[in-house]
Structure 1
Amino acid sequence: MVDYAAWAISDFSRLSVPLLASASEPDAENAPLILAGVLLSLVIIYLASKLIGEFCARLNLPPVLGELIGGVVVGISAFNLLVFPQAGDQTWNSLILDFLQSTSGLTPEQTPAVASGISEVISVLSELGVIILLFEIGLESDLKELIKVGPQAAVVAVVGVAVPFAIGTAGLILLFGVPAIPAVFAGAALTATSIGITAKVLAEIQRLTTREGQIIIGAAVLDDVLGIIVLAVVASLAKTGEIQVGNVIYLIVGACVFLIGAIFLGRLLSPYFVALTENIQTRGKLILPAMTFALVLAYLGAAIQLEAILGSFAAGLILAETEKQHDISEQVIPIADIFVPIFFVVVGAKTDVSVLNPFDPGNREGLIIAAFLVVVAIIGKIVTGLAVFGQPGINRLAIGIGMIPRGEVGLVFAGVGSATGVLSESLNAAIIVMVILTTFVAPPLLRLAFQMPSAEPAAEAIAETGSQESVQDSR
């Protein structure tokens, strides 16, 4: 039996799977076909992200929304160009595979191994993309400001987990008669926040270093930690009917020690990092040590059953305190431009929007429950803005909206619930609908919230250091 509790709290795509692994051991003749499929997939991903991203930008919508929509267009919901398992099983159906069969001699016997290899490589590149994104966001964040807003961010994170969980679980039990354990699992899915999506939007609209932006990022990081703990608890409950207290304590202590320890030790060692880069004579003397540092912390985050993105974010925060911050940021941007779109397109491509079809009788029960979950998901995060204290003139609506998108985090909850068998088909579909709608409505709403007059006083109260200008320069 698979230990779903352990599976749930490890990194989203289980990076321990070898890049070219498949259900059966692929032999050497499959490697060129896998490479060809990966190259075609990247061409499709980049075209989709740029074409639809540019279209959204011209409509004054966040380009990240275009990347998500582009993923839906080329993914399992529309043209089915990219290679992913279909409907949660291990059947494969993709136009890339058809193209390889007609042009590269891919045989039906080879197809499962080649398809699995392509899917694993693209998934790993996607996770690498979000690791780099959080490293970039950390570089553009102000650690002193994050520490200053830390209490507010902590309150926002706790409220953003507790309110939707409590209302969602109670509502499912009382209004829809859902059994307790499935209701708890669905309520837990409402607690998630996708830091990647919110951070990208904040960077695009140049609000990352505002007080609102720093509270959102700090709360989203803490929300991720809390989300991992909640997921571990409900996964254990679903599997065994009881909560493994030791595992929960380990996660709480591990998260605190890792985040605080990484930042504390990193600040002590950062002068040695600067000295090292100044003595290197070969190309990449700055970006390669910086990326190595980020990947080491990302590995440590994944190794102790937290998330790799927390480690890369901590690495960015540490290096942002050095005199090399601006130079590293400039050199990371081209790398992020290559890898980050893969993450957002893949999130969209793996999302099955067919569950939104009201004309399918099988979807109707799920859509009714989904309507309730969507309302709770949005309101439960918007109220987090009201929890901010000691910040006159701050845009509380923007803070609440920034916590709305569930993205890939919500899909992990749905995936674990489906795998454990605790969720009915209708409830699983309802969670997926909630994830889709919150992911796609949050970026434009966040931009609108920052355009409201109440956002301006807080924007003017940015730290005097001119950090906002450095973000604009890096863009």
Structure 2
Amino acid sequence: MFLQQTITDFSSGIVSPIASMPLLATVEAEYSPLVLTGVLLSLVVIYLASKIGAEIAKRLDFPPVLGELVAGVIVGVSALHLIIFPESGLSASDSGVMMVMQWINHLSPAALTSVFETKSEVISVLAELGVIILLFEIGLESDLRQLKEVGYQATVVACVGVAVPFAAGTAGLMTIFHVAAIPAIFAGAALTATSIGITSKVLSELGQLKSKEGQIIVGAAVIDDVLGIIVLAVVASLAKTGEIDVANVIYLIVSATAFLIGAILLGGIFNHSFVVIVEKFKTRGNVIIPAFIFAFFMAFIGSAIHLEAILGAFAAGLVLDETDARDELDELVKPIADIFVPIFFVTVGARADLGVLNPTVPENRAGLFIATFLMVVAILGKVVTGWAVFGQPGINRLAVGVGMIPRGEVGLVFAGIGSASGVLDKPLEVSIIIMVILTTFLAPPLLRIVFNQPVEPPSQEESTGESAILASESQIIS
């Protein structure tokens, strides 16, 4: 039965019950060049869209990443249908790229669908590589010493940023909209996510990544990502069984903590080994290839222990930032990031279906009301995190809070798992998607605005203390 459902005679476009595995291999080999052709054409569209979008955004004085996201929306499921994915509910015949493929190669419907699905998987993998490389680059650009200095603040910010939206969202859905407990908990969990990829990219573009606010945001986003994984595991278990798997939750907490702390503590040992290895290589790529071996291995470890690959990549960047080769690495990683990272941002935009904002569709109306509530909770629940920062005079608290707002691909993961498990009905699923889209697009321009605002002045006591220090230094110099 399985072979009857999965093995297809592409030349006729019908299922062949008597097909064998060698025939399947022959068919796949025959159409593999078409998959490559589809991937290449998709990349042409993605790179054109990302470059045009980034340039327009730059000229309008917005962060280029916002232009890449908007460009993705234009070429994606919401507009031109050039870059679409099977999970959107659209078929191969709805894809502009696949229609060009059909026009050139005269494919049967079954062959067209197979090429479309495989091509989409390849683009998705390239996008995942993009976000892994992005987090590796962000780790290299981050200062581990500064991250350690703001570690306590980042932890508090992350905990507040998870607890407040989750509690407010779950309670509000149950009391105001009378949503059942498990769906409300799932939607509340979706509010806890923070997209470190989008926020860190914007901070880097604004030149604020190494600022005190930027380091707190990045550190909090990393911790938030770990907490989000744990929350997702809890609610997914609750959705499947109606009860929480305590053992799995404990495992996630212990493994995530041990992984991050262990990677940082072992960094000093690895740094010396890395420099020694690099000095022994005499061929091209003697620095960048070992660096990516380490980054991908760390990402693999993170994924293998059921955390996130991006956490491993970020940890690898933090470790290598302490080596003597960090300046050279920074320059070598940039062109590679320029190739892969736009794929990630454009596909995030391409997957966002703005059709859920259409109030003329009856099933969208209930979702719009819920979405309005979720948007308020999503924004305020993260903005308040800025006021959880302590011991940091002159900090831009609003910038810290705004930096935690975007949900991005992380929020879409929550929505996707909730939908697949059958926990979320259509209005609630639509409202979560709207919340994810709007927070993702609002955060970059809001970050630009808040970082142009003056920071809070130090308190009178702090100013007096600083004046006394300056006076004493003047006396010593004189």
Q: Could you tell me the TM-score, scaled by structure 1's length? A: 0.90
What whole-Å deviation, never above 9, does each CA across 1:193-240 have from its counterpart, x for those lacking one?
000000000000010001100000000000000000000000110110
Structure-1 separation of matches of 2:232 and 2:115: 32
CA contact 2:92–2:98 (8 Å) conserved in 1: no
Partner of 1:366: 367
Shift of 1:91: 6.3
Letter in 2 for 1:256: T
Q: Which residue of 1 aligns with 2:311?
A: 310
Task: Say whether residues 1:175 and 2:176 are aligned partners.
Answer: yes
Deviation (angstroms), 1:417: 0.5
CA drift at 1:52 = 1.3
Is the contact between residue 54 and residue 63 of structure 1 (CA under 8 Å) also seen in structure 2?
Answer: yes
Q: CA deviation at 1:313?
A: 0.4
Aligned residues: 435
Q: Alignment partner of 1:243: what SS?
A: coil
CA drift of 1:286 comes to 0.5
Amino acid aligned to 1:115 = F
Which secondary structure state, in structure 2, belongs to the residue aligned with residue 451 of structure 1? coil
The verdict on how the C-alpha distance between 1:456 and 1:295 changes in structure 2, with shifts beyond 3 A counting, is farther
Aligned mates of 1:144, 1:49 — CA distance in 2: 34
Residue number in structure 2 paired with 1:209 = 210
Q: Which residue of 2 aligns with 1:192?
A: 193
- 2:180 and 2:441 map into 1 onto residues whose CA distance is 29
Q: Which moved more, 1:42-51 or 1:350-359?
A: 350-359
Q: Give how far 1:62 is off.
A: 0.7
Aligned to 1:69: 70
How big is the shift at 1:90? 6.7
Deviation for aligned residue 1:309:
0.5
CA–CA distance in structure 1, aligned partners of residues 68 and 456 of structure 2: 26
Q: Is the 8 A contact 2:93 2:99 kept in 1?
A: no
Which position in structure 1 is the counterpart of 2:403? 402
* Aligned residue in 2 for 1:4: none
Indicate the residue corresponding to 1:222 in structure 2.
223
> 2-side partners of 1:368 and 1:406: how far apart?
19
**Partner Cα distance (1:382, 1:87) in 2:** 31
**CA distance in 2: counterparts of 1:215 and 1:48, whole angstroms:** 32
1:113, CA displacement in angstroms? 1.2
- The separation in 2 between residues aligned to 1:363 and 1:25, in whole angstroms, is 45
For 1:236 and 1:26, how far apart are their aligned partners in 2?
39
Aligned to 2:97: 96
Where do residues 108-119 of structure 1 align in structure 2 (5 Å cutoff)? 108-119=109-120
Q: Distance in 1 between matches of 2:317 and 2:133?
A: 9
Structure 1 230/118 Cα, relative in aligned 2: closer, same or farther at 3 Å? Answer: same
Letter in structure 1 aligned against 2:427: S
Alignment partners' CA distance in 1, 2:96 and 2:56: 25
8 Å Cα contact 1:449/1:455 also seen in 2: no
Q: State the one-letter code of the partner of 2:342.
A: P
Distance of 2:51 and 2:457 partners within structure 1: 31
Worse overlay, 358-367 or 183-192: 358-367
1:123: how far off?
0.2
How far 1:357 moved relative to its partner?
1.2
- Paired residue secondary structure (1:453): coil
Give the secondary-structure state (helix, strand or coil) at the position aligned to 1:79.
coil
The answer as to whether partners of 1:84 and 1:92 remain within 8 angstroms in 2 is no
Q: Which residue matches 1:40?
A: 41
Cα gap change, 1:26/1:431 in structure 2, threshold over 3 Å: closer, same or farther?
farther
CA shift, 1:87, in A, is: 3.4
Once residues 90 and 25 of structure 1 are traced to their aligned partners in structure 2, the CA distance between those partners, rounded to angstroms, is 25
Q: Provide the residue aligned with 2:419 in structure 1.
A: 418
> What is residue 384 of structure 1 aligned with on the other side?
385
Which whole-Å CA distance do the structure 2 matches of 1:109 and 1:273 have between them?
A: 50
1:341 aligned partner, one-letter code: P
Q: Counterparts in 2 of 1:328-367, with a 5 A limit?
A: 328-367=329-368
CA deviation after TM superposition for structure 1 residue 181, in Å: 0.6
| Aligned residue type for 1:289 | P
Matched, 1:453 2:449: no
Partner residue in 2 for 1:427: 428
Cα contact 1:83–1:115 (8 A) shared by 2: no
CA 1:86–1:217: 2 relative to 1, 3 Å: closer
Q: How far is the alpha carbon of 1:406 from its aligned partner? A: 0.2
Change over 3 Å in CA distance of 1:456–1:119 after alignment to 2: farther
Structure 1 position 111, deviation (Å): 1.3
C-alpha distance in 2, partners of 1:292/1:179?
Answer: 47
Evaluate the alpha carbon distance shift between residue 389 and residue 180 of structure 1 in structure 2; reply closer, same or farther with a 3 A threshold: same
Q: For the residues of structure 1 that align with 2:370 and 2:386, how far apart are their CA atoms? A: 26
Q: What's the offset of the Cα at 1:25?
A: 9.5
Partner of 2:154: 153
In structure 1, the residue matched to 2:88 is 87
Within 2, Cα distance between the matches of 1:67 and 1:455?
A: 32
Name the residue aligned to 2:294. 293
Tell me whether 1:272 sits opposite 2:273 in the alignment: yes
Match of 1:247 in 2: 248
The 3 A distance-change label for structure 1 pair 92 and 224 is farther
Deviations 1:447-469, CA, capped at 9 Å, x for gaps: 11110011798xxxxxxxxxxxx
**What is the CA-CA distance between 1:272 and the residue it aligns to?**
1.2
Give 1:93 deviation, angstroms: 2.4
Distance 2:108 2:222 in 1: 46
- Tell me the distance in 1 between the aligned counterparts of 2:37 and 2:224: 39
Q: In structure 1, what is the Cα distance between the partners aligned to 2:343 and 2:87?
A: 19
Aligned-partner residue type, residue 218 of structure 2: I
Q: Quote the residue 2:285 is aligned against.
A: 284
Q: For residue 463 of structure 2, what is the aligned residue in structure 1? A: none
Q: 1:59 Cα shift?
A: 0.7
Match of 2:473 in 1: none
Superposition RMSD on alpha carbons, in Å?
A: 1.5
What are structure 1's unaligned runs of at least 5 residues?
1-22, 458-475
Looking at structure 1, the residues matched to 72 and 124 of structure 2 have their Cα atoms a distance apart, in angstroms, of: 13
- Contact 1:131–1:309 under 8 Å retained in 2: yes
Aligned position for 1:19: none
**Alpha-carbon distance between aligned partners in 2 of 1:456 and 1:91, rounded to the nearest angstrom:** 57
1:198 partner letter: T
In 1, distance between residues paired with 2:106 and 2:118?
16
Code of the aligned partner of 1:265: L
CA-CA distance at 1:316 after TM superposition = 0.4
Letter in 2 for 1:223: D
Alignment partner, residue 260 of structure 1: 261
Could you say which structure has the greater relative contact order, defined with CA pairs below 8 angstroms and 6 or more residues apart? 1
**2:471: which partner in 1?**
none
User: Are the structure 2 counterparts of residues 204 and 282 from structure 1 closer, same or farther at C-alpha, using a change threshold of 3 Å?
Assistant: same
Q: Provide the C-alpha distance between the structure 1 equivalents of 2:421 and 2:124, rounded to a whole number of angstroms.
A: 22
For 2:233 and 2:90, locate their aligned partners in 1 and report how far apart those are by CA, in whole Å. 24
1:362 deviates by 2.0
Identity percentage over the alignment? 65
- What amino acid sits opposite 2:263 in the alignment? A
* CA distance in structure 2 between the partners assigned to 1:141 and 1:96 by the alignment: 38
Secondary structure, aligned partner of 1:176: coil
